Amino acid sequence: MWQNRELSSRIADEFYAISSLFLLCAAMTGIRRHAGLSTFQRQALLLAAFTFVAALGFFALLSVQFDFGQCIYPSRAHPYFTSGRLIIGALIPFALLYAYGVIRLLHRASNASLPLVVLATIVLFVSISEIIVNYEVFASEHNWFHLP
C-alpha cells in the first residue's frame, strides 16, 4: 500500500503464486521420497515445512478472528495474509523449500550448476519487478531513500 493504493504487478503476482505452489509441491515430493537426502537434511526440510504451515495457519487465524469492518488496512479484502512485514517470519522456511524444489526438479540435469542459474534468474526477476512496482515510492520526497 502506498497512499491508499495497492502496488502490484499482475505478471509478478502470477509468477509468485504458480512457482510457489509448483516448487513447494516438488519439494514435498522430494522429501517424501528421501530423494538423496541425509537424515539431517530431511529433518531440516520437514521442520521448515511444518514451520511454514504453522505460520500460515497463525495468519489465517488472525485474519478470521477479527472483523475489520471499514478499515483500510487490514481490511476484509486484504487481511493479515497480505502484510509483508508480518509474514516475513515465514520467509526462511519458505525459501529453503522453494530452493529445494528447484534443485529437485533439475536433479537429472547434466549441469550441476543449473539450479543455481535458475535461482539466480528468479532472484533477478524478483528484484527487477520489485524495483519497477515500487519506483513511485522510491521517487517520493516522503521516503527516506527517495531518488532525486
Task: Domain of residue 107: give its range.
Answer: 10-139
User: Is 28 a member of any domain?
Assistant: yes
Q: Tally the C-alpha atoms within 13 A of residue 61's C-alpha that lie toward its C-beta.
A: 6
How many domains, the chain?
A: 1
* pLDDT of 112: 83
Inter-axis angle of helices 91-105 and 39-65, nearest 10? 130
**In this prediction, what percent of the chain has a pLDDT beyond 90?**
49
* pLDDT of 81: 65
Tell the residue number behind the cell numbers 533439475, with chain if given.
106
pLDDT in tens, 90-132: 999 999 999 999 999 998 877 888 999 999 999 999 999 999 8
User: Is 67 a member of any domain?
Assistant: yes
User: Is 1 a member of any domain?
Assistant: no
CB distance 93 to 48 below 8 Å: yes
User: Is 40 a member of any domain?
Assistant: yes
CB distance 7 to 136 below 8 Å: yes
First to last CA, the chain: 22
| 90 Cβ neighbours under 8 A, 6+ residues apart | 51, 52, 55, 56
User: Is 24 a member of any domain?
Assistant: yes
pLDDT in tens, 28-73: 999 998 878 899 999 999 999 999 999 988 888 877 777 777 776 6
User: Is 42 a member of any domain?
Assistant: yes
User: Is 16 a member of any domain?
Assistant: yes
Inter-axis angle of helices 91-105 and 114-133, nearest 10? 130
Q: Tally the C-alpha atoms within 13 A of residue 118's C-alpha that lie toward its C-beta.
A: 18
